[in-house]
Chains A and B, each alone.
Chain A
C-alpha cells in the first residue's frame, strides 16, 4: 500500500513538473501541422542562428574535452601543490550564475574598457560581441562536465595496467592512447554528450557577451526569447522544439549507453 502511494506521488510530481509541460512544446509546435517548423527552418536569420549555435557548441565541447581529459589525468594521476583547491575550483562554473559569467568575461575581454580587451582588439581579436566570446561563455558554463565523468572512472581503473605498459617500454603517449584511453572511453562519451546538451542550450551568459545582433551573433536560445517577446509564439515554440529535441536525444543516448558500460563505476560516479 505504502509502495503504491509513494510511486503514485513520484509519478504525479514528475508528470506535472516535467513530462506534461515539456510535451506541450511539441503540441504547440505542431498545432497547425508541420508548417511552423518548416517555416522556421526556411528563415535565413534562424538558419544563421542555428549554425552559430552549433559552431559555438562544437568548439566549446572540443575545448572542454581536451581540457577535461588532460585535467582529469593530472588530478587523478599526479600529486602537486594546490591540487585540492584546484579540484574544488573546477566545479565552480556549475554554480555561478550565467549572468555573472557573462559579466566576468565582459570585464576582462570587453573591447571598450576590459582588462585585456582593448589590447586584444588593437591586435585584431574581437572577443566580446563576437563568436570567440560566445565560445568562451559556452565553454565556461560546461567546463566541469567532462571532468566529473572521467575522474571517478580513472580512479576506479587504477594504475596497474599503465605501470605494466610503462615497464614494457611504452612511452607516456603510447600508454595513454593504448591503455588509459580505452578505459575511460565511455566516460568521455557521456561527458561529451552532456556538455553538448548544455552548450547548445546556453542562454544567459551568451546573452551578455554576444550583443545579440540579428544574423550575426544571435544564437538559437536568443531567438526563442526574441520571437516570444515579439508575439511570434509559433516560431518561438518551433525553435524551442528543435532545442528540446536535441537535449532529450542527448539524455536518452546517455541513458541507453550508461548501464551497459559502467558496471564497476556506479558508486558515487555522479556525486
Chain B
C-alpha cells in the first residue's frame, strides 16, 4: 500500500525534465483517499492472492516447479488445453469475423435474435453451458454424434464459451469503417475479395487479434463447462484447470500453485498483448 499512501500526499514537483516525461498527478486529497481505498480492496481481492499463487509455486525452487509442470499427466493437460484453445481461436477468427460482418453489413429478418444468441455464452453459467452441450452432443442425443468423454468435447466446450469475443471486438470497428474507401477500390476495378483483403482486413486486424487473444485466454482458463461434458479423464480429456482442482483436492497445494502459475503467465501475456494493441490503435485514431 506504500504507493497509494504516497499518492495521497501532494508530491513535490518533479524536476522539469521528468515533468514532460510523465503527466503530473492530478489527484486531489479526496480522490487520493478514494484511490487508496480502491487499491487496498483491489490488492486484498486480486493482487495479493495472485501473488500468493506465484510465491507458493516458487517456494520449492525452480527444480520443484519444473518437475511439477513437466509431470506426465500435468504436461498432457497443459498441451491439450493450449492446443484446443489455439484451434478454437482459429475457428473463432474465421467464424467471428464472418458473424460480425453479417451482423453489421447484411440486413435480414431475425438479426436482433442472433445478436442475443451471441451474448448467451457470456452470461450463461458455465455448468449450465456444459449441461446444454451434453444434451445435444452427449449420449442418446438427437444428432447421433456423441462427443461426451472424448477429446473433441473439450473443443466443443471451448468453442461455445469463446463465441462472443472475436464478434464483439470486430463488430464496433466494422461499424465505424468508412465505406467510401471500399467503393473507391471497387470503382478502380478491385474484385470484392481483393477489396476485402486489401482494404477492409488491414483495419480489422488489431480488433481480430484482440478478440483472438481474449478467446484464447478464456479457452485456456475454462473449467465449468467441461465438468459434466468431458468426464475429466487423465491423458484424454483432462484440462489444466481440472488438473489444478485435482491437486487442490489431494491437498497438494504446491503442485496446484505451480500449474496455476503456468495459466497465470498465459493470462498475463494476453493482458500485455491487449494493452500494446490498444495503444497502437489509439495512436492511429
Contact = CB atoms under 8 A, between A and B. Distances in A.
B114 interface: yes
A17 interface: yes
A64 to B, nearest CB: 10
A6 B106 contact: yes
Contacts of A139: 45
Given A91-B274, A255-B119, A267-B172, A67 B41 contact: yes
Contact of A99 (B56, B135, B175, B241): B241
Nearest to A106: B248
Contact of A108 (B52, B120, B160): B52
Contact of A10 (B114, B172, B256, B267): B114
Interface in A47-85: 63, 67, 70-71, 73-74, 77-82, 84
B217 A143 contact: no
Contacts of B267: 92, 95-97
B131 A254 contact: no
B239 to A, nearest CB: 9
Nearest to B48: A108
A164 interface: no
Interface stretch (B66-74, B181-189, B219-227): B219-227
A81 B2 CA distance: 12
A17 B28 CA distance: 51
A204 interface: yes
Interface string B226-255: 011000000000001110110010000100
Given A24-B135, A80-B7, A225 B127 contact: yes
Given A6-B102, A21-B132, A107-B49, A99 B244 contact: yes
A118 interface: no
A129 interface: no
B47 interface: yes
Which 9 residue pairs spanning A and B have beta carbons closest together?
A: A201-B125, A97-B221, A104-B49, A95-B217, A197-B123, A247-B123, A107-B52, A204-B223, A203-B224
A157 interface: no
11 contacts: A24-B135, A80-B27, A89-B47, A95-B218, A101-B49, A102-B248, A194-B122, A200-B125, A229-B228, A248-B116, A270-B169
A116 B223 CA distance: 27
Interface string A9-39: 1110110011111101100100000000000
Residue of A14, A93, A96, A140 most packed against chain B (CB within 10 A): A96
B30 interface: yes
Contact of B114 (A6, A11, A93, A244): A11
A103 B274 CA distance: 25
Interface residues of A, number: 93
A101 B242 CA distance: 13
Interface in A96-150: 96-109, 115, 136, 139-140, 143
B22 interface: yes
B168 to A, nearest CB: 5
A92 B49 contact: no
B126 A203 contact: yes
B19 to A, nearest CB: 12
Nearest to A271: B169
A143 B46 contact: yes
B38 A201 contact: no
Interface in B190-213: 192, 207, 210
Contact of A84 (B49, B50, B120, B275): B275
B271 A95 contact: yes
Contact of A248 (B123, B207, B240): B123
A3 interface: yes
B131 A237 contact: yes
Contact of B98 (A6, A80, A105, A237): A6
A139 B45 CA distance: 8
A81 B222 CA distance: 34
Contacts of A7: 102, 106, 108
Contact of B173 (A19, A200, A268): A268
Given A88-B272, A268-B172, A254 B241 contact: no
Nearest to A244: B128
A143 B163 CA distance: 21
A100 B244 contact: yes
Nearest to B246: A99
Contacts of A221: 125-128, 224
A18 B27 contact: no
Given A92-B46, A225-B127, 7 more contacts: A21-B135, A78-B35, A96-B221, A103-B53, A107-B53, A240-B128, A251-B120
A58 B38 CA distance: 19
B10 to A, nearest CB: 12
Contacts of B124: 22, 201, 243-244, 247-248
B241 A204 contact: yes
B223 A103 contact: no
